[in-house]
Amino acid sequence: MRFKLSTFFEYLVKLLPYLKVTFTYAGLSLVFGIVFGFLFAVFKLGKSRILRGIANVYTAIFRSVPPVVLLFLVYYGIPMAAEAITGKSMGRKEPILFVIITVTLLATASLTEIMRSAYKSVDKGQYEAGVSIGLTEIQTFFRIVFPQALLYALPSLGNLVIYLIKEGSLGFTIGLVDIFGKANTLNQNTYSNHILEIYIALATIYWVVAIATEKLLKYAEQKVKRELGRA
C-alpha cells in the first residue's frame, strides 16, 4: 500500500464540507458556554454561599468526567429523563443536539474558571478606584475591569476553542457525521484501502483549523493590547 497524493487531495475535498458541522457545534457550544460560564463565574465570585456551592459542584463534576462518558450520559440519559417526565419519547434522531449539549457542558466548566481567574487577575484596587471616583459598579466593571480581564482570558480562550473542536469529534460514537464521522464512513466504504490518505487529510484539516484559530486569537490579543497601550 502506497500513499498517493492525488487520493489525499480527493479526500481532503470530500471532507471539507463537513467542517460546517464541526464549526456549528463548536461555535454554538462556545456561545452557550460563554453565557452559562459568565453566570457561574458571577456565582463563584459572589457573596451567596449557596450559589457559590452550586458553581463549585458544577465545575468539579464537569471538569473531572471524561468527555466520552459525559456524551453517553447525555445521549442516553436526557431522552430517558425526558420520557420519564413527559411520558413521550423524544427519540435520538439529531446526534448534533446531544453533541452541542455535551460540549456546552464541558465548555461552561472551563469558561467559568477562565472568566473567574481573568476577573481575579485585574487587581481589586482599580475597581475600588472606579467606584471611589463616582462610577457605578456596572460602569466600573465594563469600562475598567472587563477590557483588562479579556486580555488575560484570550490565550486560554484560544486553547478552549481548539479543545472544543477536537472533543466534538467524539460525536461519531453516537452517529454524528462531522469531518471525523465522515472520514470514518469513507474509510469503511473503501475497506481501509485509503486509510492513510483519509486520516492524513483529516489531520491536516484539524491542524489548519487549530493554527488559524491560534493566529486569529493572537491577532485579537495584539489588538486588545494596543488598545491598552501595552504593545
d(Cα 7, Cα 10) in Å, to the nearest integer? Answer: 5
Examine residue 48 and tell whether it contacts another protein (CB under 8 A). Answer: no
Examine residue 226 and tell whether it contacts another protein (CB under 8 A). Answer: no
Select the residue interacting with another protein from 3, 81, 147, 212 (CB under 8 A).
147
| Cβ neighbour number for residue 98 with a 10 Å cutoff | 24
Query: How far apart are CB 138 and another protein at their closest, in Å?
Result: 11
Examine residue 139 and tell whether it contacts another protein (CB under 8 A). Answer: yes
- For another protein, the closer CB: 112 or 148: 148
Select the residue interacting with another protein from 64, 125, 138, 191 (CB under 8 A).
125
- For another protein, the closer CB: 7 or 140: 140
Select the span of 109-117, 120-128, 155-163, 164-172 touching another protein (CB under 8 A): 120-128
Total residues interacting with another protein, rule: CB under 8 A: 21
Closest CA to 158 of 114, 224, 108, 96: 114
Interacting residues with another protein (CB under 8 A)? 123, 125-126, 128-136, 139, 143-144, 147-148, 227-230
